[in-house]
Structure formats: C-alpha cells, structure tokens
Amino acid sequence: MKKDLVVIGSYPSNELSKNILKECISKLNNTFDIVLSTHYPVNEEVQKLTNYYVFDAFNGLIETNDNPIIWFQNDIFYLQVKHIKNHAYSAYSCMVSGVELLQSKYEHFYFINGDTLIDSLDISKLFELKQLMLDKKKKAVFFKEFSGMVDSKIFLSEIKFFLETIATTKTKDDFIQYNQRFTAPYVPYVLESFFSERIDRWSSDDVYIIQSSPDKYFTNSKIDVLSSFNGMSETKRDYLTFLIKEKTSNKIFFVYVNNNPNFEKKEINVKINQDSFTLSNGNYSFYKEVFADNTILLEVEGVMNSYPVSDIIDNTDSYIQFNG
C-alpha cells in the first residue's frame, strides 16, 4: 500500500535543532513517506532518514517586522524583543518547495514543523484528520485558536488545492506585497495569518477548521518544542532568557523573566562565557550586565548557544530600558 506523504520544514542550524529534527523524522518515517525541506543544509545521516530531501539556499528573510514578538514590564525595567528579520516567507517557501516536485506522485500531504515530536500514540490521529477531510468532503484541515489565525505547525491539504488556492504567492516580493494590505484581524508577515486570510477570502467552503490548537488534539505529543531569539534555537521553558542591549547604550544584559506564574523551580544553572551562577527562585525577574568583545556563549540548564555581540547591538528594536 502506498504511504501518505509528510512534509517536514526545518532550519537545523545548530546541534539542538538538528537533534530535534532527527527525532521528529524518526517518529514518522516508518509510517509515512517523508520529504524534508530546508534552507539550511543537512548531512547525509539526516537525508537517509527521509524519502526526499529538498534544499533551497535562498532563505528569503523579510526585513520589516513592526510588532514586538515579546514584551515584559515591571517596576525596574521594560523589555521588548523584535527579531532582526522575519521568517514567514522562509517557512512558507519550505512548504511550497516540499510539495511542488511531488504533486504528480501524491494527492495530499501533511505538513509538520521540524520541532514537533508526534508520539506513537498519536499517529492514528493523523489518519483521523485524513478521514475527517474525506468525510466532510473538504480539501484541507487546519487547526484554529482565535480570529485571524490558523495554525501552521501541523495541517493537512490536497497538494493541488494548496498550491493553487492557498499558497498562491510564488516569490518573496509577491508575498510581501500581499501581506502589506492586511488589516485586522490579519497580521502582516505572520504565516498563520496569511493562511487564515487566504482561507477566509477564497476557500472557506473547502477547508475544515478544528477549533482548537494542535497540542489539545495530539495530547501525547510535543508540539513546537523550540523557541528562537536572534535566530538561535532553544528548548521552550517556563521562563524566558535573553541577551539584549540597553536602549540608550551598547551595554548588553542577560535577562531572565518567569512567564509561568505556577513555575516554582528552585535552581536554574546559568553560564555566560566563563561566569557561572545559579538563579535560586523561579518566581521573579533578573538582569545582569554581560561583558564580551565578539561572542557570548550562553548556557542555561545545559543548553548552550552562541550569540554574536554585533547581532545583539545591531538589533536596535530589541532592548531593555530601565526606569529612572
């Protein structure tokens, strides 16, 4: 029997994201045909885990992003984070590249983000999505939590329908121009909003929308397990850590913010270059000035990433501002 197709999109630029990607593929490749689509090259070991590998060296990052991704404020400081470049078109083009060359071999595909780990107990739920699409006589199934957004981490679609009705912009410039005209509830340069606008405007009768998030459907799986700051992948936690410049100077600070009021972890081990320390209470914010000439190595609970000082300083829209 011919297997169904899963398209996996990823940007495996460091060891953590590579390991998560390998685990993502390994959980699916015995049941599905896999096409991996990336803008960052992978080694032969990863390629051999897949049936098809599509690499596009053009990453297509968008320069403009006016909305803060993260913001936080207390009595001491205000912090906001904006990515230097927007990755919406990059992720979108991975999806398109992953299915364009295979549309003559497969009728439909599942898209799964490369940092999603589908548990074996949830594999049957992927087939349930396909059966739901057939029973409802639809051409695609998306998850949706709120107005103006469908989820882009996991969805199912007929390939022909996806390419001709949803993924209609074929170049980065076309994608930018299409997004520039968005008004509420659609958000420019947010892929989830782009898909939602296309569905709402042109194809709502052909798409079945599940009114919940994927993590509530795939209850045994780990969805979207990586987060990113300045392009560096990190495991998602109950707290956020940043390396960020002061708004009025080129001073750089390490900042910790608890983003889960129920988080009560007592010790968090941090190492910044050669400076090691322990945060002894999870329920607070913390900042510390960091001194480095070229690169900052940040290790939090055993996960290390490297941050060029120039990238932190050049990203002037991401900053910490102290009161008084």
- In DSSP notation, 21-65 reads HHHHHHTTTTTSEEEEEESS---HHHHTTSSEEEE-S----BS--
- Same domain for 311 and 213, yes or no, is no
Give, in order, the Cα–Cα distances in Å from 38 to each of 112, 190, 228, 316: 13, 19, 17, 29
Question: Which one has a higher pLDDT value, 187 or 116?
Answer: 116
Greatest mean pLDDT range, 73-82, 245-254, 312-321 = 245-254
* Listed residues 183, 217, 251: the one ending a domain: 217
pLDDT at 13: 85
- Same domain for 97 and 175, yes or no, is yes
How many domains is the chain partitioned into structurally? Answer: 2
The helix or strand, by DSSP H or E, that contains position 68, with its residue range, turns out to be none
Q: Is the pLDDT of residue 40 over 80?
A: yes
Structural domain for 21, as ranges: 5-217
Q: Is the pLDDT of residue 174 over 80?
A: yes
Q: Which residues contact 25 (CB under 8 A, 6 or more apart)?
A: 8, 34, 36, 46, 49, 50
Q: Which of 184, 179, 175, 113 is nearest to 143 (CA)?
A: 113
Report the largest interatomic distance among the alpha carbons of the chain, rounded to a whole angstrom: 69
- Same domain for 256 and 157, yes or no, is no
Give tens-digit pLDDT for 72-113.
888 999 998 876 677 899 999 999 999 998 999 999 999 999
Q: Is the pLDDT of residue 127 over 90?
A: yes
> Which residue type, as a one-letter code, is found at position 314?
D
Q: Is the pLDDT of residue 282 over 80?
A: no
Share of the chain above pLDDT 70, in %: 94
- Same domain for 211 and 88, yes or no, is yes
pLDDT at 91: 94
**CATH number, domain with residue 290:** 2.60.40
- Same domain for 111 and 167, yes or no, is yes
Q: Is residue 224 part of a domain?
A: no
Q: Is the pLDDT of residue 324 over 80?
A: no
Q: What average pLDDT does this structure show over 169-198? A: 92
| Residue 185, preceding peptide bond in cis (omega within 30° of 0) | yes
pLDDT at 66: 57
* Phi, psi of 72, deg, nearest 5: -150, 145
Is the overall model pTM greater than 0.85, yes or no?
A: no
pLDDT at 128: 97
Q: What does the mean pLDDT of the chain come to?
A: 90
pLDDT at 65: 55
Q: Is residue 262 part of a domain?
A: yes
Q: Is residue 18 part of a domain?
A: yes
- Same domain for 265 and 184, yes or no, is no
Q: Is residue 76 part of a domain?
A: yes
- pLDDT bin (cut points 50, 70, 90) of residue 136 is very high
Q: Is residue 231 part of a domain?
A: no
Q: Is the pLDDT of residue 1 over 60?
A: yes
pLDDT at 304: 82
* Listed residues 184, 217, 250: the one ending a domain: 217
Q: Is residue 80 part of a domain?
A: yes
Q: Is the pLDDT of residue 155 over 80?
A: yes
CA–CA separation, 163 and 172 (whole Å): 15
Q: Is the pLDDT of residue 281 over 80?
A: no
pLDDT at 64: 61
**CATH number, domain with residue 161:** 3.90.550
CA–CA separation, 274 and 299 (whole Å): 10
DSSP-derived letter for residue 4 is P
235: number of Cβ within 10 Å: 14
**CA-based angle 184:228:295, to the nearest 5?**
135
- Same domain for 153 and 289, yes or no, is no
CA–CA separation, 99 and 312 (whole Å): 36
Q: Is residue 225 part of a domain?
A: no
* Listed residues 169, 188, 217: the one ending a domain: 217
